[in-house]
Structure 1
Amino acid sequence: MTLAQQFEDRFGSVPAGIWAAPGRVNVIGEHTDYNDGFVLPFAIDRATLVAAAVRQDSAVRVSSTFSESGEIVVTDLSGLKAGDVDGWAAYPVGVLWALREAGHELQGMDLLIDSQVPVGAGLSSSAAIECAVAVAANELYRLGLNGSELALIGQRAENEMVGAPTGLMDQSASLLGKEGHAVFLDCRSQHAELVPLPMKEDGLALLVIDTRVSHSHATGGYASRRRACEVGADIMGVPALRDLSEADLREASGLLDDETFRRVRHVVTENARVQAAVELLRTDGPRAIAPLLDASHVSMRDDFEISCPELDLAVDSSREAGALGSRMTGGGFGGSAIALVQVEDVDRVSAAVTDAFDRAGFKEPVIFAVSPADGAGRVS
């Protein structure tokens, strides 16, 4: 049964169309976004679909194909406040709420969501839902918003309705991505530009190694890291850690306690790695960024302390099996690692990582290759 047929079965009417928004993988630049820094994600070739129709009242009815019972969550946009909706429905409803809060006139909607983006794998399944709903509402209500503006709407939905203090990277990648390219985003100015990422042409693949260790951005670990960054910036007398260079770290080491210093050092050096990766992609191609991936993981493991045994094993075992570079990706505390590998080595690296997990007594990882894909838009 097609998504449109399932929509009609659940809601009793045909959808106005179907929109899609991809998940994302971050090539490099972790926990830099909310520090006004730089990130380099790309939209992946796995997406969330939403079948949508406009309603004449202010009700929002949301359902998903991953609900076996066919449950429909019903809420009303009139008088809706931040935090009023919980669970997964907070993401799509939050987008409509954020659009209204921004002054856009829209009524309710019926939404049926189908996701091919693994949940909890650090591939931003939440932002994919937000962006699919955002482009659907943007078109159906003729709001005329561009991708950068819709990214801000998705971020507000996640920050205020869901309660997760995330930055702008995930939504920007999902909305602005282009096949064969990464999105270089300045999170302060919100300026985004496409950077060539010709994986296939260079005989390369990017493996996602989903450790199946679930994580949540709303947990204390993420929030405490963010607070440490704010404290570090305040003590160093700058608006955000983006304003510090590697040359400032010597002074920082004398002013900050050890833990705060290490948090700051990760963000400062990670920003430098993002900028270096962009230059290398423009001049030398994807192979050249492999050492930066390795260095990024060490920084996240030792300075930001957001790795876990499964992520470290994924990185170490993939490198031992021939990956050119490897690192954890996403918010941390679980989720996925990425490994840059030659196409001919995909099967060998995948088998080696799976075997390493088995010997360690961990859950079997889910491993698959992703390619840079186009961003969100209408599919039918």
Structure 2
Amino acid sequence: MAADLPVPTYTNLNEAYPDLVTAAREAARFNDLAIEYTKRFGHPPTHIARAPGRVNLIGEHVDYALFGVLPTAVERDVLIACGKRPEGQIGTGEVRAENLDTKYTPQTFRPDPSNGTWHLPIDKSQLRWESYIKAGYYGVLNQFFDPFQTEGALQPTPVDLLFTGTVPAGSGLSSSAAMVVASTLAFLAVNDKLHKDGQGTRKGELVEMAVENEKRVGVNSGGMDQAASVISLPTSALYISFFPVLHAESILLPITRTVPRAVFVCANSLVVSDKVVGAKTRYNLRVVEVLVAARILARLLSLSFISGAPASKPTLREVLGAYINARIHIPGSEVLETNEVRGQASPALSVEQLEDGLGRLLGECEVLRASKLVGRVGGEEGLTMEEMVEASGLSKEIIIPHPLHSQSVEATHFQLYKRAKHVFSEALRVLQFRKLCLSVSGSSEEGDLPESTLKDLGALMDASQESCSELFECSCPELNRLTTIAREAGAYGSRLTGAGWGGCTVSLVAENDVEGFISRVKAAYPPYRDLEGERLSEVIFATKPSGGAFGTAIS
């Protein structure tokens, strides 16, 4: 499995990139960064860590419900040159961090070991670039270094870091995950922790560290962004599933075999989308709504694990598994999928069984409508906190526990029906997208694939955008307008990508029409009309699937 492979460390970039042209272009970036690092800090870097951004092709806001997603890494990335501070310079574990982008001011900070744990203050109330560096540092400190300062115990080395990146911040291409992954990787490398006992750090281990690290910034991530940034392979998407354990399956995208060939075009709406800043009314609120919808649905369907665990908060994926087990006979199933969190087992579900179960539950989730739950006729479809507490059988303190405490979620009504319907329908679209890719890429016939393959993929992307806008309400007027313009400009399909509420769209576009497509979008989308050259290419650009994170050792 891809997650079991070690995180690669290269000494030659020809090994890291799929073709010599790309390798030569990136070698110039790496070399320029190393030269600038030496100028600023007075000593050369020992490593450069690279982590790409990602574009989610389909599967929005379903990862924290433990349903599968289909992202791919993009060619744009974050690079961090790093090196140990020369001996004699004070500051155990002290970090000096600078950025080639002058809008990010230099930072110096040092971890504080006290009361048996490491402390690095992170201000969650505002977006600060060093917060992501500290988040990456935390995981390495907690896993490898003794906060009790025991005599003879290894201590973190003083580190100098120099950042650069091409992933637009707040664009929905997961610049935050790229920053945290790259930072975690850099601290592992510079502290000689990438390899232990002759074994390299596994990609899955880096994903798990990065997920926990990003939570320290105030975002409760499901793991999709980090997995895509770490595990992705060129020319492929990742089908990432989270239940019963994290699993990543490389799915070859058919876009290199179709006539015409196709690429993905990312277009920034120029509406900044930051998970941390809008968490209370957006991202974290949706996490609460999805979890409570699962709890109430399980209760209404009389699923056994709810009656046996009165404070249980299952995910919608767990509800699906229990529903299929209770309602649908699976003959001859001897393999069990075990929920490691709850210690339960249920018959292992095939993709076909998941598809069938999702179709059935889409009808069942009608019971979550306010008219069904509380008898409200017309008007507001959501539930108040008091109505939600009564319907779920949970206290307010259990519904919104730490870290999603009451001060981090703001809502007068919770839209449980809409959120559940989106999650189930979006999870089904992911499986359909995956099936289509596998059916054509696995074909024994050689030669080109018809354009209808692109139209079918695009139709699923369009349906996803409609659901994100109408049911999950994570789109915005600019994203709706930009996806509409993209379709009118010739895209096979277009949808928002990332958390939403701003950020980027992703469109499937014929490779031979990219220049014309971008020109038509520029003319129709008002914020682009005065942009030319590099300024335009920063906000709308074509990308092919990229490989995941890696480190380079500099001799």
Identify the TM-score tier after normalising by the shorter chain: over 0.9
- Relative to 1, partners in 2 of residues 1:192 and 1:69: Cα closer, same or farther, differing over 3 Å? closer
Q: Which moved more, 1:215-224 or 1:253-262?
A: 253-262
1:240 maps to 315
1:107 maps to 156
Q: In 2, distance between residues paired with 1:159 and 1:256?
A: 32
1:24 maps to 54
1:348 maps to 516
Q: Does 1:96 align with 2:137?
A: yes
Q: Return the letter of the residue paired with 1:230.
A: L
SS in 2 for 1:78: strand
Deviation at 1:102, TM superposition (A): 3.1
Q: Does 1:117 align with 2:167?
A: yes
Q: In 1, distance between residues paired with 2:222 and 2:111?
A: 27
C-alpha contact (below 8 Å) 1:262/1:303 kept by paired residues = yes
Q: Which moved more, 1:244-253 or 1:302-311?
A: 244-253
Q: TM-score, normalised by structure 2?
A: 0.64
C-alpha contact (below 8 Å) 1:169/1:187 kept by paired residues = no
1:130 maps to 180
User: Which aligned pairs between 1:66-77 and structure 2 lie closer than 5 A?
Assistant: 66-67=101-102, 71-76=106-111
Gaps of 5+ in 1: none
Q: 2:263 aligns with which of 187, 205, 208?
A: 205
C-alpha contact (below 8 Å) 1:46/1:116 kept by paired residues = yes
Q: Return the letter of the residue paired with 1:227.
A: V
Count residues with an aligned counterpart. 378
Q: In 1, distance between residues paired with 2:529 and 2:515?
A: 20
Deviation at 1:187, TM superposition (A): 2.1
User: Which aligned pairs between 1:255-334 and structure 2 lie closer than 5 A?
Assistant: 255-257=368-370, 258=381, 259-284=415-440, 287=454, 288-334=456-502
SS in 1 for 2:501: coil
**Runs of 4+ residues over 4 Å off in structure 1:** 103-106, 360-365
Deviation at 1:10, TM superposition (A): 2.5
Deviation at 1:192, TM superposition (A): 0.6
Q: In 2, distance between residues paired with 1:217 and 1:127?
A: 11
C-alpha contact (below 8 Å) 2:47/2:189 kept by paired residues = no
Q: In 2, distance between residues paired with 1:262 and 1:72?
A: 43
Q: In 2, distance between residues paired with 1:112 and 1:127?
A: 17
Structure showing greater Rg: 2
Q: In 2, distance between residues paired with 1:193 and 1:113?
A: 31
Aligned-residue Cα RMSD (Å) equals: 2.3
Q: In 2, distance between residues paired with 1:308 and 1:157?
A: 29
C-alpha contact (below 8 Å) 2:211/2:222 kept by paired residues = yes
Identity of matched residues, %: 33
Deviation at 1:344, TM superposition (A): 2.4
SS in 1 for 2:548: coil
Residues 224-252 of structure 1: per-residue CA shift (max 9 Å, x gap): 11111011011012721123323123332
Residues 60-104 of structure 1: per-residue CA shift (max 9 Å, x gap): 222211135862332325344365356111112211211222345
Residues 176-198 of structure 1: per-residue CA shift (max 9 Å, x gap): 01110111100232111111024
SS in 1 for 2:129: coil
Q: Does 1:159 align with 2:197?
A: no
Q: Does 1:229 align with 2:290?
A: yes
Q: In 1, distance between residues paired with 2:528 and 2:52?
A: 32
Q: 2:84 aligns with which of 31, 38, 54?
A: 54
Q: 1:9 aligns with which of 11, 30, 39?
A: 39
C-alpha contact (below 8 Å) 1:60/1:77 kept by paired residues = no
